[in-house]
Structure formats: structure tokens, C-alpha cells
A and B are shown apart, each in its own frame.
Chain A
Amino acid sequence: MFAAATIAAVVLASTTGEVLTAAAMKSIGDLDIIRAKSGMKGAIRAVLTSPLFFIGVFFLAVAFFSLLFALNHLNLSLVAPASASLTLVTNAVAGKIFLKENVDRRRWAAAVLVCVGVYLLAH
């Protein structure tokens, strides 16, 4: 129960942060193109002037410290794959709902495979 709650905290904070960060990066545009036009400083400025980016980073920081806490109590070989894989599934759902990404049958099938894999990892 403790392991599940700890991993769930990592996944929830990570999903929120990643969706917000992805939304920020999509609104900024292709960094390679920005860097070609305005140089590295221009690309860094484009990222650092996005408020949405900082909100996403805040949640990613929460996820990071949750991960540190989890690693202090649980094995890396459980925490890292379980949190990363569960985050993949929750991000597929969040990506479809909030980012309007085309999560097709292939991506949903992958989510099912990942869920089974996570069960086996935690078994």
C-alpha cells in the first residue's frame, strides 16, 4: 500500500508537469527553427518567457522530490519502471483529453501492454 501510494504521487505530479510542459513547448514552436533564426539565446528566451512552462516545471519538481522519497524507501528496479510506465499510460489519456493528440488504437494497445508489464514488475 505504501509503495502504491508513493508511486502514485510520483505519477500524478509527473503527468501534470509533463502535460503542462508539452503544452508550453507546442505553444512556443519548434526549437530547432527558433534556434536557426534567433540562435541559442533566442531559443532559451522563448522557453523562459513562457509562464505555462514554469507551472509545468513546478509540478515536475514536485514529482522529482516524490521520486527521491520513493527511492529512499523502495528499490530502483521497482520505482523507475513502474512510475515511468504508469506515467506513459496517464499521459496517453491526458494527451488525448488536454493536448488533443491523436491517440490511435496502436497507442491504446501499447498502453494495455504497458499496464500488464507494470503489474509484472510490481508482482
Chain B
Amino acid sequence: MAQHRLLPRQYLILGLVAVCAPLGDSCLSRGMTAMPSISLAHPAGLIAAVFTPWIAAGIALLIGFFASYLTALSWADLTFVLPATAIGNVIVELLSKFWLHETISLERWAGVVLITLGVSFVAQGPALTQHPVPQLEESLSEEPVSTGVQPR
């Protein structure tokens, strides 16, 4: 696997992926815990939740996350981009403890440390797998690409 170095601008995009996702999740949690319990028998309650302020703010942050995420996926592997959200786990735990006042046990803190260790470990590798031929693009294209060479 060839090494694929990222530009500072690309690290900034990964940073946005890491920050926007946990902030958006926290807004969603804040909004959903304030709502009455929603059952599967009445799923319309989930649609109505989208128009409440905290959920709307969460969605706006998650749109920012998604735009950054798509950009990152265009120049890096999925299995490289996802670890960028690992620091997000730590942010979620901190927000849960200090903003939502949830109780975080020692076991959960240990879990967060292990997860962060694992994903930071994998993030040290190359960002992109280099394929000699874009196999997936070929298999997914609607029309076969003419190479001008007849098969033997």
C-alpha cells in the first residue's frame, strides 16, 4: 500500500468530521430526551421531532458533518475516514457528563480510552488504498467503457 499524505486543508476537513458529529448528536439527545416517549406504533412522532429547535440545530450540525464527510471520502478510504470520528467519542462523553449531567462510570471511560487508542492507531496508516484499476467504478458504471481494444 503506497503512503498517501494528507494536506493541512484535508486535516481540517477531518477535524470538522470529528467535531460536527458529536455536537450534532448531543443536540439530538438534548432534544429527544425533552420529548415524550415515542413508540414504534406511532412513528409520526419522530417526524414531528425534526422541527423542534434542538433537533433542528442537531440536523444543521450533522449536515456540516455530512458535507465534510463526503469530501473526505472522495480522497481517502472509508476505513481511514471513520477513525476521524474517534475523538468524537471523547467529546460525547465530556458533553454527556458536563452538559447533560449523565453519570459516566470508570468502565465507560476505559472503553473510550481503548476505542480512541484503537482508532488513533489505525489512523497512523496510509489514507488511501491505491488500486491499479478502479474496479468498483467499472462494475457500477451503467455503460461499459470502450477501450478500443478487441478482446482476444
Residues on A facing B (Cβ under 8 Å): 18-19, 21-23, 25-32, 47, 52, 60, 64-65, 67-69, 71-73, 75-77, 79-81, 84-85, 87-88, 91-92, 95-96, 98-104, 106-107, 109-114, 116-121, 123
Which residues of chain B are within 8 angstroms of A81 by Cβ–Cβ distance? 89, 92-93, 111-112, 115
Residues of A close to B102: CB separation below 8 A = 75-77
State how many angstroms separate the Cβ of B63 from the closest Cβ of chain A: 11
Tell me the minimal C-beta distance from A51 to chain B in angstroms.
9
From the candidates A29, A60, A76, name the one contacting B26 in the complex (CB within 8 A).
A76
Please measure, in the bound complex, the distance between the C-alpha atom of A23 and the C-alpha atom of B9, giving whole angstroms. 23
Indicate if the CB atoms of A32 and B75 lie closer than 8 Å.
yes
Whether A91 contacts B134 in the complex (CB less than 8 A), given A76-B26, A120-B108, comes out as no
Min CB distance B35 to A, Å, is: 7
Question: In chain B between 49 and 73, which residues have their CB closer than 8 angstroms to a CB of chain A?
Answer: 49, 55, 62, 66, 70-71, 73
Which applies to chain B's interface (DSSP): helix, strand, loop or mixed?
helix
B85/A84 in contact, CB under 8 A: yes
- Against A, the Cβ 8 Å flags (1 = close, 0 = not) of B100-128 are 10101001101111110111011011100
On whether the beta carbons of B111 and A88 are closer than 8 Å, the reply is no
9 A-B pairs whose Cβ atoms sit less than 8 Å apart in the complex: A22-B73, A26-B137, A31-B75, A64-B62, A67-B28, A68-B32, A71-B25, A81-B115, A88-B86
Q: Is the CB of B125 within 8 A of A107?
A: yes
Known A19-B78, A117-B118: A72·B37 in contact at CB below 8 Å: yes
